[in-house]
Structure 1
């Protein structure tokens, strides 16, 4: 249960997450087809675009500087508005340069929002509440994704890609303008350190975050692209796949928070990394359209266990380090993300199996590191 004095922040984060993911998922659903059909991007330029898209994630450390002049909850709202604007203009820039520009704008909004979203969650909710809140927010995101998939399927009957981007982007902007008037803050919480700092005692959190980001970028850049280029998935088929995937996540995600509290981070992350190692090997070698769709759903399902990295950090970090740790975590998460899609695009042109086999290796390395998470954390949490 969430404490009564934290419900305002919970509702605030729910609204923002719903708006972010309806607009972002709408963009994701049609982006690959738009990039191939309208902007004529091949594997090389798709990888380049995805690498550039992750530059704002690498610059998430700037959030620490931004909150010097703007409260975190206001920064979250402004980030939503920026994301919406970037999506709204995408369809009106049908070229490689245009796609890169609109993607960069959208990405700044998305990554800055995610950084602040995590920071606020760690600050406002205790160690038992946080897994539940994070999993519920992911469930809400999945619900927003379902709504986005249905919306895109309907709009495809009446609109070109550019107008779908415009409508869904403006929805995010409108939601952001509404949320600007909300004020869910609690001034009694510890003030966050407003400086960039790496701490040796958080090394395992940094390492798991780095590998998670590197591995996830292979999935983000090439899983749907594989479906479109090799298996010929249509926009409608991608939309239906996203709906099925997000329905699965909508019902499963609330359970994950309870699993974190019951079994601990080490066990859940071990399950995730073992499964992902096999999933990426499957991506590399499958010739089945049905199997690649199933692998996509499994991939997203076990990736939801990623909240365990965040709850692990909350348990080992000082309360005043939450904002700094979130910003540094997102930056570290995107160090590899800046070059992996680009390098993956080059390797894709040699053999499309290579990026997925690299991701399988990264998942295995993560499995090894996860064994260093102290099993005593779960016991300590229960005693609090």
Structure 2
């Protein structure tokens, strides 16, 4: 099949256009990944008797493919990014579907690794396709709507779990099979319904690490380190400390999804109106407060209501990560997007490889200290965000560029 250039794709029916494909994939991915995440803490505690140290090791294994996302550069030498995105989604769907078939610690680590390969390679390529296919002037708004679309699809899945888990005595295997199967059906539709799209700027298919992207790399590193504490320990706390059951954890996820459906497009407009620096500054100030309050739950015995509110607020801040994408889109050479997406994903996961296991040990001694460390990471991210110029572009990647360009007095 001859690839369709992006400028010609506008003549296609709306259901076959690039932006529609992005929305279909945005719906397919969380149906598997978010369902897996919602059931994970209960599954590993009830089935494999995990403690804080075990969950740390599981997430360390889960993040190894993210650290190796730079391998995407090698794959796209022989495979189109669009094809790789769909194959990665298919792997994620299959691995999710069979998760309950591996009820031991070794089995869970094994299937988690394969699921993670699909997830991280998809996320790497998907970010690249988004930034290549969306024009700069509409990217923040469309990225916000993509967040809302994924949240809306997952809302349906979680609603079904909450309503049917106890009423019909569902098993982990039933839910995992259903969520992974629906992802596979969407992948099959995308493969058949959409042509291959040709991006206007050929991508550099080799490893690149450019000095002028250093601030983007640093923000990605801190984002990955900080995210691990929420992903690994915030949900685990709700089950271990407060005894949340599957339907209760899923109900909390439902609240997060509704919030993201509303907030995602709002954040997209906020990035467009206020810029990446102001948006990220707001996010990181909020995260410092959230993580300090998480620590207070352990140090001062604050209750489940506060923990639940913080969990929702913390999750909402994730939607603001689209500002980091648009910051890079504005400063990048058009041909750098695919290889830099792979490099950035690897940088994002450097800390993720060792941090969950290390913090799992600290968790056994002082859970509150884990969240205090996260607050320090958020504060570091805040300092870095203040280095973003008001109008980033090639040659004006940080505020230091403006200072260097200013004439001497």
| 1:219 counterpart (230, 235, 251) | 230
Deviation at 1:153, TM superposition (A): 2.3
Question: 2:31 touches 2:180 (CA, 8 Å); kept in 1?
Answer: no
Determine if contact 2:284/2:382 at 8 Å carries over to the other structure: yes
Residues in 2 aligned to 1:245 and 1:107: alpha-carbon distance in whole angstroms: 22
Aligned residue among 189, 199, 203 for 2:214 = 203
Correspondence 1:5 to 2:14: no
Q: Which residue pairs with 2:348 in the alignment? A: 333
**Shift in Å at residue 185 of structure 1?**
4.0
1:229, distance to aligned residue in structure 2 (A): 0.3
Deviation, structure 1 residue 377: 3.0
Counterpart among 67, 71, 74 of residue 62 in structure 1: 71
Structure 2: how far apart are the matches of 1:292 and 1:177?
A: 40
Q: Pick from 109, 115, 138 the counterpart of residue 118 of structure 2.
A: 109
Aligned to 1:123: 132
Which residue is 2:330 aligned to? 315
Higher alpha-carbon deviation: 262-271 or 130-139: 130-139
Is 1:173 matched up with 2:184?
A: yes
- Which of 20, 28, 40 aligns to 1:31? It is 40
Deviation, 1:182, is 3.5
Greater radius of gyration (CA):
2
**Alignment partner, residue 87 of structure 2:** 78
- Aligned pairs (5 A) from 1:1-384: 5=10, 8-156=17-165, 157-187=168-198, 189-286=200-297, 287-377=302-392
Query: Any conservation in 2 of the 1:26–1:148 contact (CA below 8 Å)?
Result: yes
- CA spacing shift, 1:275–1:188, aligned 2, 3 Å: closer
TM-score (norm 2): 0.89
- Structure 2 unaligned blocks of 5 or more: 1-5, 397-409
Shift in Å at residue 280 of structure 1?
Answer: 0.6
Q: What CA deviation, in whole Å up to 9, does each residue of 1:247-305 have, x standing for no partner?
A: 01101111111111110000000000000001011111122101111001111112211
Give the whole-Å Cα distance in 2 for the aligned partners of 1:365 and 1:249.
25
Gaps of 5+ in 1: none
In 1, the alpha carbon distance for the partners of 2:123 and 2:175 equals 24
What is the rounded CA distance, in whole Å, between the counterparts of 2:182 and 2:278 in structure 1? 39
The normalised TM-score by structure 1 is 0.95
1:134 deviates by: 1.2
Deviates more, 1:129-138 or 1:150-159: 150-159
CA distance in 2, matches of 1:245, 1:295: 11
Q: Is the 8 A contact 1:12 1:182 kept in 2?
A: no
Q: CA deviation at 1:65?
A: 1.1
Matches of 1:188 and 1:260, distance apart in 2:
25
- Residue 164 of structure 1 deviates from its aligned partner by 1.3
Alpha-carbon distance in structure 1 between the residues aligned to 2:142 and 2:222: 24
**Which segment is superposed worse, 180-189 or 203-212?**
180-189
Distance 2:143 2:352 in 1: 23
